[in-house]
Chain A
């Protein structure tokens, strides 16, 4: 038995620590195998052991086309993610503002938004593809695939904005109006700056959800792939560690995006609490 203050940890601590260790291994083990193998030597294969260490396969990505259309799909993915991000942020912020009051059909709109979260993605993508075919419009990444991704990111953005607005004190708006700000001025000078960290979070979600979206995008993508679809295609015809290099590279992009978002949120928070410490303290 563990006695408080005896300085020794109970056996449950070690059991849970071991369990946690397994969890971490399970989570990062497969990913690290891919990271390591992406630095395989020029003569190495798809599996261990490593046959030297090199950046050869990263170079191969940008070289000849036998590894697939990496540059094109990467550009499309980034562009699509930015478009999705912009629409998600704009729509979620406006919806968040609207949903602060009940309006005619607000419950219906809300449930419809949530509904699109729980429909299986592949089916939803199939539906979008079928509809485009029925209407005689050629599916493409910037139309049908964009729409399919938005069914995923918009409800997410909306839910985040609900959380953000639930902590937003409406007295700030009243104070602004009391001090002579119009509706537009209040929104621009008070509401949006205060909500900025939450808005960045929505943007981050919009970007990353789009950047690695697969099931909804698969069918309505048209003839030119986004990066996840291209990687999927490559697994069937590329038999070199270039595939791993691609995985490492795209993961790095995701990390950079997340780091940028988190850093900017942290900077905003710090600016709000630390600025002006150059004046002396106390009263």
Chain B
């Protein structure tokens, strides 16, 4: 049975609020898909509609070539892992895992044998007689995974599976989830609000905002070629710059910012017209930093540069994250390789010039057009570069 999922014009309204707004998405069989977005963006509602715990207001959910709307959760070939695992507190680990088989009338000896097999796969067989409350968060998660997998699903739905774990376990478990998905060869749909988690595990990253899909693509695409300022800001790792298109020539567009800086960016097949207000972005790790020895307040003479004073310096191991206050702009971040930084370290308050090559600029022409909204979420890059 194929685990290909197709969402067609999927919409969910709660009273007057639109939680999911006419979504179209195809998730290939056997792929690892992450639905990524800030809380309230509708990602969990989509997951619950695929699982059958929520009924779409409009639109359709197809799994393996047939519509599953109206089918009971267990009749869809999906299994869900709940955010806090929802392990039954009155049942032992073994009975939790065997629950589905019990509901299907499998005899006790047989269902316990099969539950033990699954527990052995996640190295929890010796905890079979424990109660869930006696297990650590990571162990509970593995029990929840076994309990879901005993149904032999073609689609596994994971609702914030790692959010209840500490940092160390989170990194370990996300690797384990990815490995399991490859081994089982089934479709995983994983809901998360953590950018680095999504790009670490997923084949297909779906960035959402306010009930809509902002961008869907491979992790690398999403990270390096965001379609909109929203995606670029949300994923982190990019500096977003705004400007008005002054000229289009030779495959490059030149943008002029409010304070007179000029940014040149390759068009990469995108069509822009002179006079358009646009955003472009440049990766933090492609930005070069040098001391600005000119009189304070002078705008940069060169194209693709900004000037400002160093606002914060954070050592990150392999690189140093330097945040620069650029007057009239959102803070600009340069991730400087540690060797280069320490060759001539700048200090907080120092005037600096940050510049970059035109090839490292990417125009943001897509998305849903809410390009000038203020970021209301924590940017991934702020804590991890």
Chain B residue numbers with a CB within 8 Å of A177 are: 53, 72-74
Contact (A278, B129) CB under 8 Å given A179-B147, A273-B134, A283-B136: yes
Are A174's CB and B129's CB within 8 A?
no
Are A180's CB and B104's CB within 8 A?
yes
Are A174's CB and B82's CB within 8 A?
yes
B window 134-192: CB within 8 A of A? 134, 136, 138-139, 147-148, 151
* A211 to B100 Cα, complex, angstroms: 43
Which single member of B82, B126, B127, B133 contacts A272 (CB below 8 Å)?
B133
The dominant DSSP class at the A interface is helix
Which single member of B86, B92, B129, B134 contacts A171 (CB below 8 Å)?
B86
Q: How many A-B residue pairs have CB under 8 A?
A: 95
* A277 to B80 Cα, complex, angstroms: 29
Are A178's CB and B131's CB within 8 A?
no
Chain A residue numbers with a CB within 8 Å of B147 are: 179
* A280 to B53 Cα, complex, angstroms: 38
Chain A residue numbers with a CB within 8 Å of B103 are: 176, 179-182, 185, 189
A window 93-117: CB within 8 A of B? none
Question: Taking the nearest CB of chain B, how far is it from the CB of A269, in angstroms?
Answer: 10
Chain B residue numbers with a CB within 8 Å of A275 are: 92, 129-131
Question: Taking the nearest CB of chain A, how far is it from the CB of B52, in angstroms?
Answer: 8
Are A180's CB and B100's CB within 8 A?
yes
* A228 to B15 Cα, complex, angstroms: 54
* A181 to B382 Cα, complex, angstroms: 44
Instruction: Kindly report which residue of chain A lies nearest to residue B98, judged by CB atoms.
Output: A179
Count of chain A residues near B, Cβ 8 A: 30
Instruction: Kindly report which residue of chain B lies nearest to residue A194, judged by CB atoms.
Output: B90
Question: Taking the nearest CB of chain A, how far is it from the CB of B178, in angstroms?
Answer: 21
Are A279's CB and B127's CB within 8 A?
yes
A window 212-269: CB within 8 A of B? 268
Any chain B CB within 8 A of the CB of A169?
A: yes
* A171 to B73 Cα, complex, angstroms: 13
Instruction: Kindly report which residue of chain B lies nearest to residue A277, judged by CB atoms.
Output: B134
Any chain A CB within 8 A of the CB of B242?
A: no
Contact (A171, B104) CB under 8 Å given A272-B133, A276-B130, A276-B134: no
A window 31-55: CB within 8 A of B? none
Question: Taking the nearest CB of chain B, how far is it from the CB of A230, in angstroms?
Answer: 42
Chain A residue numbers with a CB within 8 Å of B104 are: 180
Chain B residue numbers with a CB within 8 Å of A280 are: 126
Chain A residue numbers with a CB within 8 Å of B131 are: 271-276
Chain A residue numbers with a CB within 8 Å of B379 are: none
Question: Taking the nearest CB of chain B, how far is it from the CB of A280, in angstroms?
Answer: 7
Any chain A CB within 8 A of the CB of B328?
A: no
Any chain B CB within 8 A of the CB of A83?
A: no
Are B84's CB and A190's CB within 8 A?
no
A window 175-222: CB within 8 A of B? 175-182, 185, 189-190, 193-194, 196
Are B74's CB and A180's CB within 8 A?
yes
Any chain B CB within 8 A of the CB of A172?
A: yes
Chain A residue numbers with a CB within 8 Å of B72 are: 177
Instruction: Kindly report which residue of chain A lies nearest to residue B125, judged by CB atoms.
Output: A279
Contact (A175, B82) CB under 8 Å given A190-B88, A276-B92, A277-B134: yes
Could you write out 7 A-B pairs with CB less than 8 Å apart? A172-B86, A174-B73, A178-B51, A180-B74, A189-B103, A193-B90, A274-B131
Q: Assuming A180-B151, A193-B88, A276-B93, what are 9 further A-B pairs, CB within 8 angstroms?
A: A174-B82, A177-B72, A178-B51, A194-B90, A271-B90, A275-B130, A276-B134, A279-B127, A279-B129
Chain A residues packing against B (C-beta within 8 Å): 169, 171-172, 174-182, 185, 189-190, 193-194, 196, 268, 271-280, 283
